[in-house]
Structure formats: structure tokens, C-alpha cells
Amino acid sequence: MGESVETGDALALYRACAAKLTAQGSPFAVKQPGTAKTRHFAGTKQALLDIADASEERFGPRAFFEIEDIRKSYAKVMEESRKLAASLSETHRIREGEVVGVAMRNSAHWFTAFWAIQRLGAVAALLNSRSKGPEIAASAADVGARLIFADERCAERLDDETEIPVIGFPQIGDLIEAGEANHIDVRATGDDPAMILFTSGTTGRPKGATISHANICNAARQLEYIGELGMTMAAERRGISVELIRQHAPPVSPLLIVPMFHISGVTQMISTMQGGGVLAGMRRWDPAVAIDLIERNKVTQVSGPSLVMADLLAQPNAAERMKSVTSMVVAGQASPIALTKRIYKEFPQAGQAAGWGMTELTGTVASCSGPVFAENPGKVGVPLPLVDIEVRRSDGSPADVGEVGELVVRGPTVMSGYWGLDEATAKTFDGEWLLTGDLGTVDERGMLAIVDRAKDMVISAGENIYCAEVERVLAMVDHHHEVALFGIPDERLGERAIAAIVLVDGCVMSPDPEAVKNHAREHLADYKVPTEIVFDLGPLPRNVTGKVDKAALKRLYEERHAEQAA
């Protein structure tokens, strides 16, 4: 048992614990046989199926998920995936390296289908099940899918839209029943592709990011490292052994809000499987159902947009019913400060965190939590040990400390490229560095802050206005429930910066555009103060990841403006 560490410098403690965990001979020793791209942790598995096999062996009888009132154990899901794999091989002749589409809502069949595809050494193309039929069909065709697993709604949407065979829910059940559970697994590994996840497509047709087995296995080990680092820091602060904390720490059990065609859904599944927890999900967002799931399954992690958090906090006896939750993360756009304060007050046992990542990076590559998060507001953490992150100017030269530039990343979790799109892949890579399109800064202590998406700036009178920076300032006002900044074309300025604000329910204050502008002037340069403040566009439209859909918001503004001008 160690001595209690009393320090206001959480980042120093973080670095000390990280160095201890990653030193040679330690559980997460960093191996670097050559370039930074090959850096990996000791104990990293080589194939996605290795993770499935380990979870089945260790946690077979435990519940793997509860979704749509269906509850299945690890052993049951893996048994059914073997049967489905056998039927796919025998009936549809699916072979190693071939692509199989999955267009389903979060459901029991999704998990069975995903792991069946992996058992064949095939590639799971995780299609956006919320898209229209032609969009789903186009994405499936772009990656050469041999067949598509689909839920009822997607199967109907795909009718007459594609010549690719579509297997619906009833047929999936039939294939499982007909298969042999003793099917031999095909072990795809290393740089072999494991899955394809599609970018949002906000700037054009969605591109399929190819995630290899090495990508996802390194990301999985990285998730284990993040958990171990948190426990190590807690042990140091309390002056107790890590083993004592580990014995009392519940397994990761997330509330599954994000769709499984998103990288966050995949990484939540993996982190759950590695610890033997349970995924708790529902067909559509319903806070009453969600809090029942949290209470019944002893959910430990809740991550979602501010609206999700506000909905949960508004439920009767929320603090008591959610006492199992040890992590609450507000994701997406700038978080209202009043909500953050309320989470701290009502859920003191639940740590808050921040992080940065993207589909092309197989999830998170920088993070901070607990006291590091609390002591560094506005930051998203430091790079994780397997990756290198640089900030570059528009000419490709390194940015100075604190200077805004594009973030570029290299490491073993960086995707292989965009499936079948050599030109798009070439534009995205500078050698082994991925050009993320995100703008950020790194301070003198190595802490990363995200400023905005490079493509999500408002350029007004020749000045670059970073939307996220303005949104953070507007979100400081307690009665601002939702905020978003976007640009509208203007003949004189190029673009006008429009701020959309939704006030909290029951707010007694009247909308006051000038008060908002005065608040902005106190924290921002004059050119960054929004030209116009609007209060009638809420609730703000959001995409499947919980972020404000700026394109939809602009359309809504333009339609409202046209109505008022008529």
C-alpha cells in the first residue's frame, strides 16, 4: 500500500502513472520495433476474434446485452454467430475477404451478424441504417457487398433499390437454426480488413473507412490502458493498492445510445466485452426506458449529447436510480455550464471526461478524465501512448505552441484508407500521417484543445471565425440550453455568423439578442461576435452522433427567413 498523494497538479500525476504503466516489463509496456506506426502495447491481440474468444471463455454465462427486451449471454451470442457463419458459408458461399453489409438498428441480430461475418474472415460494412434506401444501396455497392443483412425497415427501403441479396430478420433466424455450431473459424488478422465504417457524408457521398484487425485490436488494448490508468491514478491519490480498487470496480457497462454503425458503438461493444459487462440499449430514445435499463443492468457509463443528460436528470429519483453510474460524459457540441455543474452536484461519484477521436482513427486518440479534466477546462486531454499528434499550419509547417492548426495523426489505430477510393485516400494522408481536417492547439504542457472542424468555419469579412470557440462562450450562460453557430452567405461580408440559441425549459427571461452579443464581446474579439441571434430554431437538429446538424440548421433558418420575408 502506497502513500496518499496530495497534489493540485493532476497532469503531473497522470504522466507519472502513465510512465509507470508503459515502462518495459510493465503490463502495458510500449513496444516500438520500428516506426511510430508500429508502436503497440504488450498483450495486444492480433485478431478481432481473439477478443470474442477471450470474452466467451471468461464470461460465457453472463449477460452480454439487453436490447429491445431481449437479453442474451456471451455464450449464446457466440454460439448463434457460429451457426450463422456456417449457413453463410454453405448457402451464400461467403469467403474470406469478401464484404457483407449490415444495415440494422441496434438489435440482437446485429451482434450475431457482426460476429458471424468475423468468423468467416469477411469484412463487415456497417451501413447507416437511418439513411434512405438509395443511400444504403449506394454505399453497399461502393464497397462491393456480396449481401446485406437488414432489419425490417431497411429491408423495405432496399426493396427495388439494389440487386445485392438482402437478408431480413426472419431469414437471419432461419439461417441460425440451420447452421452447425462447430463451424471452423477463419482467422483474419493483422492488416486484413475487419470492418468498413462510413463517414457522415456532410460534404458529399459517404466514404468507407477501412478498419483493419490491427487497428481495432490496438484500439481495444488502448481502451484497457485508459481504464487501468484511471485506477492507477485513483490508487495513488488514495494511498491504496491498485488491486484493491480493481477488486471493487464494476465491469464497464454502457448505456448504448449511439448506433452500432458508428465507431463509438463498436468501441463501446469492445470495452464491454473485455471486462464482461453488459450493453443496455433501446430501439429509440426514451428517458424513462433508459433509466430503467440503467437501474436494472447497473450501467456504469452514460455518454451522449446534452439533451440526453438533461432528460435523464429530469427523471424522478434520478440520482438514486443511477447510483451505479461512475462516468457521465457530455458529447457533441459545447456543453451548457449549468448542466456540467448539475452533474457534478447530483452525481459526485460519476467522473466526467473529455476526449478526441474520429472514425478514421478507430476512435479516441487523446483523452483526460477525473481531476485532469477538472483542472483543464476546455481541453480534450493528451495523446495516448500509441499515437503521435502534431499541429500544422496550412503550408504544412509545424505550428507554434498555442497556435491554431490542422491536427495530423500517425499510429497503429489510423485506418488503412477509404475502401476503393485511392484518390481520396491519397488526399487524406501525408506519408504515414493522417490529415484529420480538425483544427486544434497544443499548449506548453502538451494538452490538446479542439477549436473546430476546418470545414466548419465562418469566414466573415476575411476573418476566420471558429464556430466551436463562439459556441463555448455562448454555452457559459446558465439559461442557454443549446447553442450553435453557422454561416449564411452575404454579398458584403462573404458570410454572416448566425447564432441559434434554445433557452432552458421554464426560463423566465425573455430572448434578448443584445444581451447575448454583449456577453460574447466580453470574451471574444469583436469580429467573432455573431451578426444575428435567433431563438426560434429549437430543438436544434442533430445527427446520429448527437452533434448539431449544421446543414439542416441552415436550411431551417433559410426556410424561416423566407417565411418571414413573404
Rg (CA), the chain: 24
- The residue written with cell numbers 429491445 in the block is 68
Grid cell for residue 285? 430514445
Q: How many domains does the chain have?
A: 2
Backbone angles phi, psi at 522, to 5 degrees: -70, -20
Residue 237 lies in a domain: no
134, 254, 468 from 545: Cα distances, Å = 21, 15, 16
What's the rounded Cα separation, in Å, for the pair 465 and 304?
Answer: 26
- pLDDT at residue 498 in the model: 96
Enter the DSSP assignment of 528: G
- pLDDT at residue 566 in the model: 64
| Length of the chain as a residue count | 566
- pLDDT at residue 492 in the model: 66
- The beta strands (E) that lie in 48-186 are given as 63-67, 70-73, 99-103, 123-126, 145-150, 166-167
Full DSSP string of 286-309: -HHHHHHHHHHHT--EEEE-HHHH
Residue (of 118, 127, 149) closest to 56 by Cα position: 118
- pLDDT at residue 338 in the model: 72
- pLDDT at residue 181 in the model: 79
Residue 79 lies in a domain: yes
The per-residue pLDDT string of the chain (566 residues; one tens digit each, 9 = 90 and over) reads: 333 344 458 999 999 999 999 999 999 999 887 655 578 999 999 999 999 999 999 999 999 999 999 999 999 999 999 999 999 999 999 999 999 999 999 999 999 999 999 999 999 999 999 888 988 999 999 999 999 999 999 999 999 999 999 999 999 999 999 998 776 678 899 999 999 999 854 445 789 999 999 999 999 999 999 999 999 999 999 999 999 999 999 999 999 998 999 999 999 999 999 999 999 999 888 999 999 999 999 999 999 877 788 889 999 999 999 999 999 887 755 566 677 788 888 888 888 888 899 999 999 999 998 889 888 888 899 999 999 999 999 899 999 999 999 999 999 999 999 999 999 999 999 988 999 989 899 999 999 998 877 667 787 876 778 787 789 889 889 889 899 999 998 766 778 999 999 998 888 788 999 999 999 998 887 888 999 999 999 889 987 656 788 889 999 999 987 777 66
With 0-12 CB in 10 A as exposed, 13-18 as middle and 19+ as buried, what is 30?
A: middle
* CATH number of the domain encompassing residue 210: 3.40.50.12780
- pLDDT at residue 183 in the model: 66
In sequence order, the 6+-apart residues with CB closer than 8 A to the CB of 466 are 404, 439, 451, 452, 457
Residue 112 lies in a domain: yes
Residue 236 lies in a domain: no
What residue type is 533 in one-letter code? I
Residue 125 lies in a domain: yes
Residue 299 lies in a domain: no
What's the rounded Cα separation, in Å, for the pair 337 and 134?
Answer: 41
Backbone angles phi, psi at 411, to 5 degrees: 155, 175
- pLDDT at residue 545 in the model: 59
Give the percent of the chain with pLDDT over 90: 67
What's the rounded Cα separation, in Å, for the pair 103 and 278?
Answer: 23
With 0-12 CB in 10 A as exposed, 13-18 as middle and 19+ as buried, what is 159?
A: exposed
Edge-to-edge strands of the sheet including 99-103? 166-167, 145-150, 99-103, 123-126, 193-198, 208-212, 417-418
- Total H helices, total E strands in the chain: 19, 28
**pLDDT tens track for 120-151:** 999 999 999 988 898 899 999 999 999 999 99
Question: What is residue 146's three-state secondary structure?
Answer: strand
What's the rounded Cα separation, in Å, for the pair 415 and 208?
Answer: 10
Backbone angles phi, psi at 101, to 5 degrees: -80, 145
Full DSSP string of 386-416: T-EEEEE-TTSPBPPTT--EEEEEESTTS--
With 0-12 CB in 10 A as exposed, 13-18 as middle and 19+ as buried, what is 564?
A: exposed
Residue 371 lies in a domain: no
* CATH number of the domain encompassing residue 480: 3.30.300.30
105, 143, 241, 311, 348 from 147: Cα distances, Å = 17, 11, 51, 39, 48
Residue 316 lies in a domain: no
Grid cell for residue 392? 500544422
- pLDDT at residue 202 in the model: 41
Contact between residue 22 and residue 385 where contact means Cβ atoms under 8 Å apart: yes
- The residue written with cell numbers 447575448 in the block is 516
Where in the sequence is the domain holding 255, given as residue range(s)?
Answer: 38-222+251-284
